[in-house]
Amino acid sequence: MTDKAVEIANLLAPTVASLGVELLGAEYLPSPGSALLRLYIDVPAEAIGSDGEPRSVTIEDCEAVSREVSAQLDVEDPISSNYTLEVSSPGIDRPLFTLAHFARFAGESVKIGLKLPQDGRRRLQGQIARVEGDHVVFVLDGSEFVVSFGNIDKARLVPDWAALGLAPSKDRPSKGASPKGGRSDKSGVKNTPTKKPTHKPAADKPTRAE
């Protein structure tokens, strides 16, 4: 994550946790006119639903988080420009934000983007071998490749579409698969662009639900 994304994630994490979910991380993408703030949330591993099965993130979770963090962002004002807020579940190509995330998914395939080139490479795809201190060890083309965690810009798991039964056929995508490789199991909400907060009470502001 960028320094700004880390700052915002640290600010919002307690609010998200109070809603029974956890903030995995944030993406902050500034651009002229309007920035994009994307939050990824998940449920604790031990969370159990009413059916006795492990619970997953729902659209209601995303909407609740969106409402609460929107109010907090209005008050705290960490983003000076206009911005759009998105709250999403991680999906099966989930992003990895911390060393603990890399350790948890050791053995899985992952795509990596580096902040600075290493051995002439900025983009990598391989398998997570292990975490050693503040470094992540990957297996690329049969050889180990060690990357400082601080040099990792973005990381996402690479789903095994065939194992998930979502591999597209030659003629058309399989049922449940996204024709353009999107995340078919992802829940989320996207708010309309938000102007820099005013001093009006939050309850008087226009609703920013999708």
Q: Are residues 74 and 23 in the same domain?
A: yes
Same domain assignment for residues 87 and 114: no
Asked if residue 70 and residue 14 are part of one domain, the reply reads yes
Residue 168 within a domain: no
Give the residue ranges of DSSP H helices in the chain.
Answer: 3-17, 59-76, 99-104
Question: Are 78 and 121 part of one and the same domain?
Answer: no
Average pLDDT taken over every residue of the chain: 82
Establish if 174 belongs to a structural domain: no
Model confidence at 112, pLDDT cuts 50, 70, 90, reads very high
Q: Are 126 and 141 in contact (CB under 8 A)?
A: yes
Count Cβ neighbours within 10 Å for each residue of 144-175 and write b for 16 or more, e otherwise. ebebeeeebeebbbebebeeeebeeeeeeeee
Q: Which pLDDT belongs to residue 86?
A: 96
User: Quick one: pLDDT band at residue 201, thresholds 50, 70, 90?
Assistant: very low
Helix (H) or strand (E) holding 36: strand 35-42
Task: Evaluate whether residue 172 is within a structural domain.
Answer: no
- Looking at per-residue pLDDT, the higher value among 204 and 38 belongs to 38
Digit-coded pLDDT (tens) for 30-39: 988 889 999 9
Q: Same structural domain for residues 63 and 129?
A: no
Residues 137, 139, 143, 145: is their CA dihedral positive or negative? negative
**In the chain, how many domains are there?**
2
Say what the pLDDT of residue 44 is: 82
Residues of the domain holding 141:
99-157
Are both 123 and 197 inside the same structural domain? no
Identify whether 169 is part of a domain.
no
* Range picked from 48-57, 76-85, 94-103, 171-180 for highest mean pLDDT: 94-103
CATH of the domain at 103: 2.30.30.100
80 and 112 co-located in one domain:
no
- Which of 113, 96, 114 lies closest to 105, judged by CA? 96
Whether 64 is covered by a domain: the verdict is yes
Residue 209 resides in a domain: no
How do residues 132-182 score in pLDDT, each as one tens digit?
999 999 999 999 999 999 999 999 999 876 666 666 655 544 444 433 333
Both 21 and 52 in a single domain?
A: yes
| Beta-sheet strands, E only, within 58-159 | 83-88, 109-118, 121-132, 135-140, 143-148, 152-157
68 in the same domain as 106? no
The answer to whether residues 87 and 191 belong to one domain is: yes
Q: For position 182, what pLDDT does the model report?
A: 37
Strands 35-42 and 83-88: parallel
Closest by alpha carbon to 6, among 110, 133, 97?
Answer: 97
Do 61 and 131 belong together in one domain?
Answer: no
Query: Residue 68: its pLDDT value, please?
Result: 97
Residue 37's H or E segment, with its range, is: strand 35-42
- Calculate mean pLDDT across residues 58-84: 94
The per-residue pLDDT for range 6-27, each reduced to its tens digit, is 999 999 999 999 999 999 999 9
pTM of this structure: 0.76
Average pLDDT over residues 55-75: 94
